[in-house]
């Protein structure tokens, strides 16, 4: 039996939540393995979880078909002024939103247990770690939070009597009456789903969805949307970025923070195995980076998460062998197909489709079916500790110094394989205008082109024009110690759909050029859009890239780039007078370079 909670503010908040939501029981999570196994056993018993005979301590869940991804249309940034939320966020006034959600929360946990999850984003003891407490009525959320964060008594000890925490309230929105049978995946209808952030209060309320970042509130909600606003106020950075260490044959270590929209290869790059002899890579994080200026004037970073919440379809021993080895055991799979011998399967796994499976909806599936066996956004949740490529410094509380920023996206044309920014302001412009073709990770038309600045459009918790300004200010503070900035595009295609670049581990050849640029060992050609490699400066030994493909990958299509300008201007125009003048200057400079390009 747990004794009294030392932090009275925490106890008071939990008491208020319990009085509002009216759960049958309240359980304080201790973070132990026994707790995880007990909750998982309960979900196996209820039929919500399926143990996998082929993967030790691994389980499969199937979500409701209405609850399969982030719901951006139901995600809100609630600030006193709508202009502070900005045009890229959905906004409802705080009083109105709290009134609506309080009505939904009233009695929403009847028939259920309220689980209180004290969690830390970042290694306990790190100067950058932040503590949150999530109250949820979902044992699935508890088990995933065990993997994705540091949970339990040690967090309460670190919080102490006077420590600060971020309150995070979550409910699946499906109260149970006496004797009522529970759904295998309880959730509320779409119109009752709310993922709400009150960044001025460091407060998160989520209702109606049990899926991913809608419910694991330490992830996108705390670590990006609320943390980005807090970082703006406090002078640090919360970014949707992987952190990768590359090690040259001579032992030189380079630290790269890279931003890609979800499901555009972030996890593959974070776990890359270089194909260039002598080069090695270590994964420090696959999704989120918190960064601050250290005593030495450089930018330092930690990965605040403790696990990987990766997209399964397309993950294979060709695309990401490290991830495949990581998910051999101790995994929570969501919306994958179940094979007859007790394993999971998904499209793009690199092994033949089973003759029969049960698909993510629970229906019989055979290879002739038109519908996919696994949902395109099917996921795996797995501890970072069992990744064979994890860096020994991944939990270093002091973090690692960042040498390079890389922005990227999924563009079939226009954008070259790799571009280096002329300077910091130009690099911010590259990040602010980054674009990608949408994927199944977010609800909406797949393949539509949208601007996704810094891969943060769904995750910036305040006006994005001010976010751009924050990047410019951070560059001013860093001065000549600022990381170099690059943009990459592995996804170029010919008109017939053929890939121009082999990708996957071969992307290390682009990263090597980037590292060589940092150290001044290799030249570049100056173009209207930035510095590009000369063909001879890319190390292509051992890989067959036709000369005509390479020429296209490194070509600047002036007409296409001129056609980009109106869309960039429309993109920037939505921010009105709040957009920093320095970005207007970058547009004009690009127009002039394109006009003068020969």
Active site residues: 264
Pairing of strands 75-77, 194-198: parallel
Tokens (6 digits) for 430: 């590259």
Beta partners for 116?
28, 135
Place of tokens 């070509």: 555
Distance, CA of 320 to CA of 192 (rounded, Å): 37
Cα radius of gyration rounded to whole Å, the chain: 24
Please tell me the distance from the alpha carbon of residue 272 to that of residue 509, in angstroms, as a whole number: 11
- C-alpha 511/C-alpha 274 separation (Å) is 9
- Which stretches of 150-239 are DSSP H helices? 153-159, 212-215, 227-234
Phi, psi of 526 (to 5 degrees): -80, 130
Q: Where are the beta strands (DSSP E) in 442-556?
A: 449-451, 484-488, 525-526, 531-532
Bridge partners (DSSP) of residue 593 are: none
Q: Which of 338, 328, 441 is nearest to 382 (CA)?
A: 328
Token readout for 74 is 């139901």
Both tokens of 337, joined, read 């197909």
* Distance in angstroms between the alpha carbons of the first and the last residue of the chain: 76
Q: Rounded to whole angstroms, how far apart are CA atoms 573 and 483? A: 28
Helices (H) and strands (E) in the chain, counts: 16, 31
Instruction: Report CA torsion sign: 316, 320, 326, 331.
Output: negative
CA-CA distance, 22 to 513, in Å (whole number)?
Answer: 58
Two tokens, residue 452 = 């996704």
Give the DSSP letter string of 322-374.
HHHHHTTSS-EEES-EEETTS-EE-TTSSSPPPSSEE-TTS-EE-TT-SS-SS
- 217 near 132, Cβ under 8 Å? yes
């Amino acid at each position: 039996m747990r004794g009294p909670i030392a932090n009275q503010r925490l106890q008071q908040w939990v008491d208020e939540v319990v009085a509002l939501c009216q759960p049958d029981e309240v359980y304080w999570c201790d973070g132990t393995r026994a707790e995880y196994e007990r909750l998982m056993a309960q979900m196996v018993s209820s039929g919500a979880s399926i143990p996998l005979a082929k993967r030790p301590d691994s389980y499969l869940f199937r979500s409701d078909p209405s609850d399969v991804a982030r719901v951006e249309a139901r995600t809100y940034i609630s600030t006193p002024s709508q202009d502070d939320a900005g045009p890229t966020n959905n906004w409802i006034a705080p009083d109105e939103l709290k009134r609506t959600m309080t009505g939904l929360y009233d009695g929403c946990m009847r028939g259920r247990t309220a689980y209180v999850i004290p969690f830390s984003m970042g290694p306990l003891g790190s100067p950058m770690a932040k503590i949150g407490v999530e109250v949820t009525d979902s044992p699935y959320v508890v088990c995933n939070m065990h993997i994705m964060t540091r949970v339990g008594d040690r967090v309460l000890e670190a919080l102490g009597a006077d420590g600060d925490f971020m309150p995070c309230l979550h409910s699946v929105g499906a109260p149970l009456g006496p004797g009522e049978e529970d759904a295998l995946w309880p959730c509320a209808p779409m119109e009752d789903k709310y993922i709400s952030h009150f960044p001025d209060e460091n407060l998160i309320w989520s209702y109606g969805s049990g899926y991913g970042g809608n419910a694991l509130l330490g992830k996108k909600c705390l670590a990006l949307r609320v943390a980005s606003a807090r970082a703006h106020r406090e002078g640090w950075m919360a970014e949707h970025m992987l952190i990768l260490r590359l090690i040259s044959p001579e032992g030189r270590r380079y630290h790269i923070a890279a931003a890609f929209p979800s499901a555009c290869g972030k996890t593959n790059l974070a776990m890359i195995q270089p194909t260039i002899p002598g080069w090695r890579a270590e994964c420090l994080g696959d999704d989120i980076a918190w960064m601050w200026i250290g005593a030495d004037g450089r930018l330092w970073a930690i990965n605040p998460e403790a696990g990987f919440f990766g997209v399964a379809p397309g993950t294979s021993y060709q695309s990401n062998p490290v991830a495949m080895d990581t998910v051999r055991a101790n995994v929570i799979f969501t919306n994958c197909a179940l094979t007859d011998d007790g394993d999971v399967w998904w499209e793009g796994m690199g092994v033949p489709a089973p003759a029969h499976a049960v698909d993510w909806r629970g229906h019989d599936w055979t290879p002739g079916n038109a519908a996919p066996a696994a949902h395109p956004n099917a996921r795996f949740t797995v501890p970072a500790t069992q990744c064979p490529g994890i860096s020994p410094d991944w939990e270093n509380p002091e973090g690692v110094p960042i040498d390079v920023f890389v922005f990227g996206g999924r563009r079939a044309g226009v954008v070259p394989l790799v571009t280096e920014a002329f300077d910091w302001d130009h690099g911010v412009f590259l990040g602010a205008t980054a674009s990608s073709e949408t994927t199944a990770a977010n609800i909406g038309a797949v393949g539509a082109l949208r601007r996704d600045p810094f891969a943060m459009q769904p995750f910036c918790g305040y006006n994005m024009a001010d976010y751009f300004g924050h990047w410019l200010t951070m560059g001013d503070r860093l001065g000549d110690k600022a990381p170099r900035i690059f943009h990459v595009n592995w996804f170029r295609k010919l008109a017939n759909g053929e890939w121009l670049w082999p990708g996957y581990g071969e992307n290390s050849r682009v990263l090597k050029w980037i590292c060589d640029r940092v150290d001044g060992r290799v030249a570049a050609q100056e173009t209207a859009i930035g510095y590009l490699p000369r063909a001879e400066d890319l190390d292509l030994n051992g890989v067959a890239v036709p000369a005509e493909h390479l020429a296209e990958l490194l070509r600047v299509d002036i007409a296409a780039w001129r056609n980009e300008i109106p869309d960039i201007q429309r993109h920037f125009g939505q921010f009105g007078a709040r957009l920093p003048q320095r970005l207007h200057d970058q547009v004009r400079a690009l127009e002039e370079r394109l006009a003068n390009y020969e």
